């Protein structure tokens, strides 16, 4: 059986850090107000040169280095983003050129904050079918360009960054299963219109309730389908949207926060880059070790959601 085994991870965060204290000088808010409601203390904001393509390229280079692979080894590129630099060509094609990866399938996936889980599901199907042997999955976002910096409900939440994972087909377990879903009937509680000057629109309380319900539901289904319990999970690697959502989901699953990877405090919500950034942080810090079971989960606009069970 061909498993999608993680060989290496990488990440990139913009140099500029915007703290809550700095935000409070331009919008009616405070450090305490933001931390109590979101768990966020700071976020990284991209400069004009730190584009979705550029950040994704740097994160991918680090992942390839960690995997001991060269660009010529890669035979598929999938980029998850809702903030591409161009309508077309895809960000995946732009990164392919930047890295010098030979001609191969390259395309973008858009599922908002759930994008990386959707991307994991896509590349895993290609690996299992034998159509890809060394795929590269990248999440890169410049969410700051979609934020109304006078709207304190949303401007405190989002940040920019990129994360990447290099995979290889292997007989050893890697991605054990993925579960993805969507409910387009809930499209109006979290969206951005495609028109000049449009910003993120969000009904926070509705998103919170649905996120906790769906994440607990899909995570429990994933564990049941793999004949595992929460005690078999070494680390929960969640989308870093809001500390209250993360805590509520972990509590419903019966998972202590000591086994949850948290990067939200310094990164904010980086949408499709959130999960790979947290995964890379967990691996590079030494918390996540080979052989451990990881449960990745995310929830985003669409509405979309998903989980991935991985043996690292």
Out of 20, 239, 242, 267, which one is annotated catalytic? Answer: 239
- Which of 170, 198, 217 delimits the end of a domain? 170
Are residue 112 and residue 184 in the same domain, yes or no? no
Are residue 43 and residue 159 in the same domain, yes or no? yes
Distance CA 23, CA 27 (A): 6
CA 286 centroid distance within chain:
20
- Which of 170, 205, 236 delimits the end of a domain? 170
| Known catalytic residue at 269 | yes
Distance CA 94, CA 107 (A): 10
- DSSP for 241-271 reads S-HHHHHHHHHHHT--GGGB---HHHH-B-G
* Cβ atoms within 10 Å, residue 255: 18
| Known catalytic residue at 239 | yes
Are residue 153 and residue 184 in the same domain, yes or no? no
Distance CA 154, CA 149 (A): 8
Q: Which residues of the chain have pLDDT under 70?
A: none
Beta bridge partners of 260: 236
* Cβ atoms within 10 Å, residue 47: 12
| Known catalytic residue at 194 | no
Are residue 46 and residue 154 in the same domain, yes or no? yes
Cα dihedral 214, 161, 57, 66 in deg (nearest 10): -80
Distance CA 261, CA 53 (A): 26
**pLDDT at residue number 1:** 75
- Which of 104, 136, 170 delimits the end of a domain? 170
Provide the residue range defining the domain that includes 134. 3-170
Distance CA 83, CA 35 (A): 26
Q: How many domains does the chain have?
A: 2
Are residue 135 and residue 254 in the same domain, yes or no? no
Are residue 257 and residue 285 in the same domain, yes or no? yes
**pLDDT at residue number 12:** 99
Are residue 192 and residue 166 in the same domain, yes or no? no
Are residue 180 and residue 159 in the same domain, yes or no? no
CATH of the domain at 188: 3.40.47.10
Distance CA 220, CA 229 (A): 8
Cβ atoms 34, 23 nearer than 8 A: yes
Three-state secondary-structure class, residue 80:
strand
Are residue 270 and residue 300 in the same domain, yes or no? yes
Are residue 100 and residue 213 in the same domain, yes or no? no
DSSP run (H or E) holding 155: helix 152-155
Cβ atoms 127, 167 nearer than 8 A: yes
Cβ atoms 83, 142 nearer than 8 A: yes
**pLDDT at residue number 204:** 92
State pTM to two decimals.
0.97
Are residue 138 and residue 158 in the same domain, yes or no? yes
Out of 113, 155, 242, 267, which one is annotated catalytic? Answer: 113
Are residue 17 and residue 95 in the same domain, yes or no? yes
DSSP β-ladder status, 16-19 and 76-80: unpaired
């Amino acid at each position: 059986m061909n498993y999608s085994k993680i060989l290496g991870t990488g990440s990139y965060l913009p140099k500029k850090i915007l703290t809550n204290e700095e935000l409070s000088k331009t919008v009616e808010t405070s450090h305490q107000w933001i931390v109590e409601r979101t768990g966020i203390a700071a976020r990284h904001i991209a400069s004009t040169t730190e584009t979705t393509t550029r950040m994704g390229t740097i994160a991918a280079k680090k992942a390839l280095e960690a995997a001991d692979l060269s660009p010529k080894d890669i035979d598929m590129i999938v980029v998850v983003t809702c903030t591409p630099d161009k309508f077309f060509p895809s960000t995946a094609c732009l990164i392919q050129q930047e890295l010098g990866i030979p001609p191969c399938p390259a395309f973008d996936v858009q599922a908002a904050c759930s994008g990386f889980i959707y991307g994991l599901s896509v590349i895993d199907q290609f690996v299992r079918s034998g159509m890809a042997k060394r795929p590269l999955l990248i999440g890169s976002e410049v969410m700051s360009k979609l934020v109304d910096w006078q709207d304190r409900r949303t401007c405190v939440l989002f940040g920019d960054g990129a994360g990447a994972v290099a995979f290889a087909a292997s007989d050893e377990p890697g991605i054990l299963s993925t579960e993805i879903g969507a409910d387009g009937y809930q499209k109006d509680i979290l969206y951005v219109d495609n028109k000049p000057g449009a910003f993120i629109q969000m009904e926070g309380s509705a998103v919170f309730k649905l996120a906790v319900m769906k994440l607990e539901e899909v995570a429990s289904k994933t564990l049941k389908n793999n004949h595992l319990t929460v005690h078999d999970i070494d680390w929960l690697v969640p989308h870093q949207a809001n500390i209250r959502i993360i805590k509520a989901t972990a509590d419903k699953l019966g998972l202590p926060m000591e086994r949850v990877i948290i990067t939200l405090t310094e990164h904010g919500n980086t949408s499709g880059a959130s999960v790979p950034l947290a995964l890379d942080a967990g691996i590079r810090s030494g918390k996540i070790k080979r052989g451990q079971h990881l449960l990745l989960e995310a929830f985003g606009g669409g509405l979309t959601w998903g989980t991935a069970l991985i043996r690292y």
